[in-house]
Structure 1
């Protein structure tokens, strides 16, 4: 008992010292803190809100209207043998690949809370469905950081393959529990309640997007204060001593620490050094996603009862697999070819989008995904209706 109390007191002392230091830092360096806040607001206004909000609305509608259940019947033969989850989970995987963090995780949690998958299936999905979107990797990272759309495509390919590898690996999580095959009774596509579902989706999506922006603002200021106060460099110096056998000096260690906390700040710091090393570290950061994204997912988990263990382990594996795949693909694919130059020209403009262009592109992509989901749903409904008529005859 004394040991437990001692550990709790030690934790409280560290927390108190940290909060006191943070308060003093904000008082001592208000201009730096306000500058970081302005940068964070710009990031949220120009990137986060226009890219995530339409996909949040789309994912909520897919779950609220029961479309994922019809899609589940169509995709069950793929999802069950590969990942040991039922087909309802396919929407979380698809939206996670297109919408970016944390659309996939949010959709998986919603599917579980609506009773469309078991707890084990939801925890398996959380391990690999929370992925970065193509706009961020191709535009911000590929064209913006590396100045080459082909390298952005390489990172996105490594990101997707690593995610699928983690999903296949986690099919062995709780091996005694297979995919849920129970079908709910009655009509599942609630067209009559579309207005209510749409209202709930928009309001809930805005709340979720604002929660994400709050975390981004906090960690942007937090990292800026750590860097300005010299704490980040001190931590990097200690980490570089541990990672010296891997050839990482203090500069690389500081970049790694930044990416471990906030992915966009981490990849933006990869402006010089060996290209293969920068690619591998960027791939790791994108797979890991950063503590900022993890806090966003934890906010969605709330009282769902889902374990965060599989999510964290999955993101660690995703980062490691992505780094290895990026290094391998970089050695296999030549990037001086005309095709790579053409890809760079096509994706360079993505990094220069302003708010209105970004929201238009994101909304168009979201509505395109919505039409795909709707078309597949109508196809399955018509197929099942035809089968029912043949059975009656």
Structure 2
């Protein structure tokens, strides 16, 4: 009751603020729309559609059988988790959460496994980190490499630690196609399991290709519209709350807490006393956290399941701390390595001249690298990740047999 009243009061307050300051609300919503159209929509639409098709024709179940040995040894998760991780790591928020929710609804993972997989798969877009943050916001390509490496390392470290120290059981649901976790399997056995799982899943679904494709596109566009709404609302919140934030709080904190894309831009335009390494560390922490917007997107994706965003929020904060530390540790070796490969240019905070307490600049279309031309690259990266995971899984199974 108290929570409902509080949310109602906050909603009324937000509407009243928008009425009082319509111009700021309009400009902020355009900023969120710009980010959504240039980055999120082209990065997610193909993958959300592909995921629905793969589910309809049993490809998810087949990949689950192939990836089962590797996923169980690394993260105490069934093989289908490998697909969720590959989707989340190649296409960004919230495709990992969407695929995790689908696996949970189909009882391919238990509640404990789904909660752990949600933390591991709900990741920022790699092209956003490499192209938009590195080459765009900061005008330093090597910065994007360091940030991406730190974010990925933080996810792997926390995922491995969570799998090893979690008190919850890793038992699989009763209807999974995988056999006993410790059973020895040859390549022929893995392929047989994959073919069997695909055939059974296709028979259970029963839709034709045209029907499955139409349903996939409709579902994906609906989800993307909801994601765009979350991003626009969070952008408006950042703009409306900025004037009431004390000057003692750094300007990137509010956007970093609420919307990670805007927060990363604000952090890239700040001049830190610690230099560019601190810019990269703060951006890595913001992207690992993901912001309230990413949490709301995950919450929307897992609606109808028994998964919760509260443990996800705690783990994201932990990942942010680990990512910050990893960035500081990786800064010198990766900088020295990329100095011989990538050209350097003037960092963004020297170009803009913003201080830690200055208000964050607004994002314009010219500040963003649109991901529309890079959709084929995303597909290729997704395929390569799945191929590498499959080869590693088969190799792991063969070594176990010896």
Q: Which range, TM-score by smaller chain?
A: 0.7 to 0.9
What is the match of residue 96 of structure 1?
88
- Output the CA distance in 2 between the equivalents of 1:309 and 1:168: 20
What is the match of residue 258 of structure 1?
255
Helix, strand or coil: the match of 1:341?
coil
Q: Matched residue pairs, number? A: 345
What is the match of residue 139 of structure 1?
131
- Output the CA distance in 1 between the equivalents of 2:119 and 2:284: 17
Helix, strand or coil: the match of 2:139?
coil
Q: 2:30 aligned with 1:38, yes or no?
A: yes
The 1:142–1:360 alpha-carbon spacing in structure 2 relative to 1, beyond 3 Å, is closer
More deviation, 95-104/360-369: 360-369
The 1:110–1:26 alpha-carbon spacing in structure 2 relative to 1, beyond 3 Å, is same
What is the match of residue 115 of structure 1?
107
Helix, strand or coil: the match of 2:121?
coil
The 1:367–1:195 alpha-carbon spacing in structure 2 relative to 1, beyond 3 Å, is farther
The 1:193–1:256 alpha-carbon spacing in structure 2 relative to 1, beyond 3 Å, is same
Compute the displacement of 1:308 (Å): 2.6
What is the match of residue 82 of structure 1?
74
The 1:151–1:219 alpha-carbon spacing in structure 2 relative to 1, beyond 3 Å, is same
Q: 2:372 aligned with 1:359, yes or no?
A: yes
Compute the displacement of 1:219 (Å): 0.9
Match of 1:220 among 222, 229, 235: 235
Compute the displacement of 1:13 (Å): 6.5
Match of 2:200 among 188, 202, 217: 188
- Output the CA distance in 2 between the equivalents of 1:71 and 1:23: 47
- Output the CA distance in 1 between the equivalents of 2:134 and 2:110: 37
- CA RMSD, aligned part only? 3.0
Tell me, yes or no, if the aligned pair for 2:48 and 2:220 is still in contact at 8 Å.
yes
Greater helix proportion: 1
Match of 2:169 among 153, 176, 179: 176
Q: Which runs of 5+ in 2 are unaligned?
A: 179-195, 347-365, 394-402
Compute the displacement of 1:290 (Å): 0.5
More deviation, 15-24/286-295: 15-24
Tell me, yes or no, if the aligned pair for 1:68 and 1:90 is still in contact at 8 Å.
no
Helix, strand or coil: the match of 1:43?
helix
Match of 2:40 among 43, 48, 53: 48
Q: Which runs of 5+ in 1 are unaligned?
A: 238-249, 381-393
The 1:122–1:336 alpha-carbon spacing in structure 2 relative to 1, beyond 3 Å, is closer
The 1:163–1:36 alpha-carbon spacing in structure 2 relative to 1, beyond 3 Å, is same
Compute the displacement of 1:201 (Å): 1.5
Match of 2:158 among 166, 187, 191: 166
Deviations 1:5-39 (A, max 9, x none): 7xx2xx56655554444233222221111111222
